[in-house]
Amino acid sequence: MFHSTFDAFETFLFVPDRVTSHGAHIRDAIDMKRTMAIVVLALVPALLFGIWNAGYHHFMSAGIHAEFWEIVWFGFLKVFPLIVVSYVTGLGIEFAAAQIRGHEVNEGFLVTGMLIPLIMPVDVPLWMVAVSTAFAVIIGKEVFGGTGMNIWNPALIARAFLFFAYPSEMSGDYVWIAGLKGGENVIDGFSGATILAQAAAGKTTFVNGLGEAYSAWDMFLGKIPGSIGETSTLAILIGAGLLIYTGIGSWKIIVSVFAGGTLMGIILNVFAVNDFMRVPYWEHLIIGGFAFGAVFMATDPVTASQTEKGKWIYGFLTGILAVLIRVLNPAFPEGMMLAILFMNTFAPLIDHYVVEANVKKRLRRAEKVNLK
Amino acid sequence: MSDIIRIKRGLDIKLKGKAEKIYRRTERPFFVALKPEDFVGLTPKLTVKPGDEVKTGSVLFYDKDHPEIKFTSPVTGIVSEIHRGERRRILEVIVKTADEDEFLTFNIKDPEYLSREEVITVLLESGMWPALRQRPYSIVARPSDIPKAIFISGFDSAPLAPDIDFIIKDNETEFRKGIDVLSTLTKGQIHLSVEAGYPICKSFANAGNVNIHKFSGPHPAGNIGVQIHHIDPLNKAEVIWYISPYDVVRTGRLFINGRLDNTLVLALTGSGVIRPAYVKTIVGACINSVVNGNVNNGDNRIISGNVLTGTRVETNGFIGFYDHQITVIPEGKHHEFVGWASPGFKKFSFYRAFWSWLRPDAEYDIDTNLKGGERAFVLTGLYEKVIPLDIYPMHLLKAIMVEDIDNMEKLGIYEVDPEDFSLAEFICPSKMELQDIIRKGLDLIRKETE
């Protein structure tokens, strides 16, 4: 009766005792759980940095000097509930859906459930996380037939849902730093504007809330306001290293997204007519959600291109679009989310042409033989 | 001699239990059997019943759809049992062996002086014919077809596979004779693939009328399908034939001695075997006679063939017609507490998601545990890494699953065989049964086109 639920807990606690019955008599030690666990592990550096960063910016805005552990503890209290809400909501729906369909519970949500909090602003209300997670799992995934069948990255669906449904909680200068919105205990003149917001406003030097200029090193390390997990390019690259090394994430997509972003950045620099277009191309790669999107979002195997040649094209176009939307469309301060969702939509089309080329090659070979 | 064909995509699974290059003595098997299920798509028509006496070379059954294709007894003795399965399907035709072989003799001449038809008649009558198979489908070759080429894979790259150079050593004359016989069957070439990096063995070097190709790289470089793909790929409506090197030797002996050669050289391998080594026995010998007393205690799985593509057999079962290897590995009916989170120093994996990548040269004792639950397709681009063919495996599999014949053809189904997907099945994190899917697709298309 509760087979799916039982199976899920059984396989979580134990690798099952089932043996091979058809086909190959031995199997690789890898399974979906291990795969997803590796991805979650790859997210941990970004998560830890995000926790520290939440505390760091909070105390900076309040003008209080805090010790390292104070900062981390504050950040933990802010971030941990988001993770709990995301997992509880998402897994609850996944278990129910698996039970109704009589399927096994797929492990995909282990990753999605971690991604969702990491791409949220730290002060997002918990109920919004619950609603957006539910929306992502039901509309973004289950209606398409569940794990492996969805067209768009579920975590990005959650973010896009909030972005369009509750824009005041997802954008502006007040949501990125914990405690800023109420306005109490915030030092006078403190600004919580992200670098992208500053760039869109035509600023040429980017400053932190206190008005001190950021160095490129600050941006790379991630000491800037932004969604919880997206700020530290360094932490993200550590995760990328793990994904690429284990062979679980596609290095082709990661590399080509960065390549596409770089190229578009250079083009904009060359033809620059305003200050935003003059932002050095390499800065685009270390600010906003670019790196996080490239490493953890664009690489989602279900929604990315599935052919290896297609992955190059898909990644490259994602990078180009992300920077293009960022700079040329003032309505959207961050282009990465839209670029990935857009390319998710076109991934099957890219694959179609790649496969079609292979089919044509085969037909031509057969024709040659027939002519003889 | 052509350049080396380098296979880059693939995987060598390093298992414990490689056969030592010596022959161990075995008893003459008490029972020998032919298994109709070894022959893809065959509907057997019996010509014997239990109690009948048969000689070596007497017909046991033939192909209902192609009555000229006969399957003959590898030994002299008495038919002891027709073992049937579900819906009375014939599983094994078992012969109790007599102490001495009495051979049926066939009128032979030097193949040089025989026409194609005469050669085919000798092969069919003796029961040597089924050793020749065709691609696509890996069914027994149809005598009415003229293949565009004949392929022989001179090495086996599968896990713990026998060393073919060792098996056919000292059979120079027989191999050459076998090649002479085969060359009457095709107007095209005979392609013989060998492993680059090793000296070509004498039997191959002096085979005469063959085109030798050198291959390098990991398994499945030794798969006939991979070699065909890289030498002369199959197109729709084309047919090639293939045969194993040892069966070439047996064919040679048939035309030298005028009687069916019933010998079989076998590698007994795997971590479940006490002393892995080679044995000489008879085609279709019962497993007991080969593994007796040389297997570890405990729950073992005996496989006729290799761990990736072989058939599961019991100790009272029989060696498959096309197999040159028996593998014994432990069964894996055990739970492993939060096994998915363990560091995995001793877990063999294609991925570097376990610490075992620290020991690249280690040999592993892998049991039959599935090591995870079945899931939907999620990851992509993995199968390609172990299938060195210019196809899109995932798209082909999906076309088969929805039975879209048109797309299967376009995506290259004629170029593949279940064994080409066995490594992909091994590394699949979703634990999908890929070989079954490919077999289903091939069966479907064969029924549509025949």
Q: Is any Cβ of chain A less than 8 angstroms from the Cβ of B308?
A: yes
Compute the distance between CA of residue B426 and CA of residue B159 in angstroms, rounded to an integer: 12
Residue A1, pLDDT score: 54
Chain B interface includes A20 (CB < 8 A): yes
Q: Does B378 touch chain A (CB under 8 A)?
A: yes
Q: What is the pLDDT of residues B355-389, one digit of tens each?
A: 877 777 888 899 998 888 888 888 888 899 999 99
CATH of domain B263-341: 3.10.20.600
Predicted pLDDT of residue B351: 87
Per-residue pLDDT tens over the stretch B11-69: 999 999 999 999 998 889 999 999 999 999 999 999 999 999 999 999 999 999 999 99
pLDDT of residue B70: 96
**Residue in A4, A26, A44, A250 to test binding to B, most B beta-carbons within 10 Å:** A26
Question: Tens of pLDDT along B324-357?
Answer: 999 999 998 888 777 777 777 778 888 888 887 7
Q: Provide the angle, in degrees to the nearest 10, between the axes of the packed helices B245-257 and B172-183.
A: 90
CB-based contact B340 A22, cutoff 8 Å: no
- The residue among B35, B215, B235, B37 whose CA lies nearest residue B135 is B235
Minimum mean pLDDT range among A46-50, A97-101, B84-88: A97-101
Percentage of chain B surpassing pLDDT 90? 77
Tokens matching residue A79: 């971030």
CA distances from A291 to A1, A84, A114, A328, B83 (A): 44, 25, 17, 19, 64
The answer to whether the CB atoms of A247 and B354 lie below 8 A apart is no
User: A106 vs chain B: nearest CA distance in angstroms?
Assistant: 7
Mean pLDDT of B263-268: 95
Please state the domain extents for chain B. 4-13+28-257, 263-341, 370-449
Ranges assigned E (strand) in B275-371: 277-282, 300-304, 311-313, 325-330, 336-337
Neighbours of A282 (CB within 10 A): 15
**A326 pLDDT more than 60:** yes
Which region among A73-77, A368-372, B374-378 has the lowest average model confidence (pLDDT)? A368-372
Instruction: With beta carbons under 8 A apart, name residues in chain B contacting A20.
Output: 368-370
What does the pLDDT average to over A328-356? 91
pLDDT in tens, A176-227: 888 777 666 788 778 888 888 888 888 878 888 888 888 889 999 999 999 9
In the predicted structure, residue A351 carries a pLDDT above the cut 80: yes
Contact B261, B74 (CB under 8 A): no
A301 with B336: Cβ contact below 8 A: no
Strands B311-313 and B336-337 turn out to be unpaired
Of A7, A30, A308, the CB nearest to B429: A30
Restricting to A residues 292-331, those with a Cβ less than 8 Å away from any Cβ of B are: 301-302, 304, 306-308, 311
pLDDT band of A69, cuts 50, 70, 90: very high
Interface of A with B in 149-188 (CB under 8 A): 149
Dist. CA A359–CA A41, nearest whole Å: 39
CA torsion B228-B232-B233-B238 (nearest 10°) is -100
Instruction: Reduce the DSSP state of residue A284 to 3 states and report it.
Output: helix
Q: What is the pLDDT of residue B362?
A: 85
Q: What is the pLDDT of residue B2?
A: 57
Percent of chain A with pLDDT over 70: 98
Tell which of A12, A13, A28 to mutate to test the B interface (max B CBs under 10 Å): A28
Using the Cβ of A121 and the Cβ atoms of chain B, whether some distance falls under 8 Å is answered with no
**Is B303 in Cβ contact with A27 (below 8 Å)?**
no
Give the one of A15, A35, A37 whose C-beta lies nearest to B379's C-beta: A35
Instruction: Give the residue-averaged pLDDT of A316-322.
Output: 96
Query: A170 CA to chain B: closest CA distance, Å?
Result: 30
Closest Cβ opposite residue B431 in set A27, A147, A301: A27
Among B residues 426-445, those touching chain A with beta carbons less than 8 Å apart:
426-431, 433-436
What's the whole-number average pLDDT of chain A? Answer: 89
pTM: 0.91
pLDDT tens-digit map of B395-420: 999 999 999 999 999 999 999 999 99
Flag whether residue A355 sits within 8 Å of chain B, measured between CB atoms: yes
- Asked if the bond preceding B218 is cis, omega within 30° of 0, the reply is no
Residue of B nearest to A250 (CA): B381
Mean pLDDT of A55-77: 91
Mean pLDDT of chain B: 92
User: Which of A10, A25, A104 has the most B C-beta neighbours within 10 Å, making it the best mutation to test the interface with B?
Assistant: A25
The more confident residue out of B260 and A191 is: B260
Report ipTM (2 d.p.): 0.89
Spatial contact of B301 and B329, defined as CB atoms under 8 Å apart: yes
